[in-house]
Structure 1
Amino acid sequence: MKLTMIAGGPCSSGDDKCGNGDCPTVFATDRSGMLAVQGYDVEHLTPEGESVVMIPEDVLREAARARGWL
């Protein structure tokens, strides 16, 4: 699957909320209508092959602007 970063991504030196230089990110995918999200692990039982992650609210807003939704 091809991923294209549309929000979040590598953190600047003063804005590393996660402490490892690679912040939560929202990606466009090559699947119509689908986005991919990199975020913080959450303990929540999900079906096999699925995950729930947390991302900062501002990253989701940035992704919505990048997609022209706001």
Structure 2
Amino acid sequence: MKVTKLVSTCDIKDCPTLYATDRDTLLVQGKTPTDHGLQLPAHENLVEIPMDLVRRAIREQLI
């Protein structure tokens, strides 16, 4: 899979980030919340990212 960084909240590696793939999908890097109270299938996870990251990606027409 080829991954391309779209937008991030900072320039270092451990910040919320959106990536595009050559599979026409998005990858999301963010914190894994533990207090959500949802029941997820074993093969799925939640990732929490700031709304500003999504707004910035839209503003810059990245997604």
Percent identity between matched residues is: 41
Which ranges of structure 2 fall in alignment gaps of 5 or more residues? none
Q: What do you get for the CA RMSD once the two structures are aligned? A: 2.3
* Number of corresponding residues: 59
Which ranges of structure 1 fall in alignment gaps of 5 or more residues? 13-19
Amino acid at match of 2:5: M
Q: What secondary structure does 1:54 align onto?
A: coil
TM-score in terms of structure 1 length: 0.64
Which residues in structure 2 correspond to 1:1-70 (within 5 Å)? 1-8=1-8, 11=10, 22-32=14-24, 34-43=25-34, 44-64=38-58, 65-67=60-62
TM-score in terms of structure 2 length: 0.70
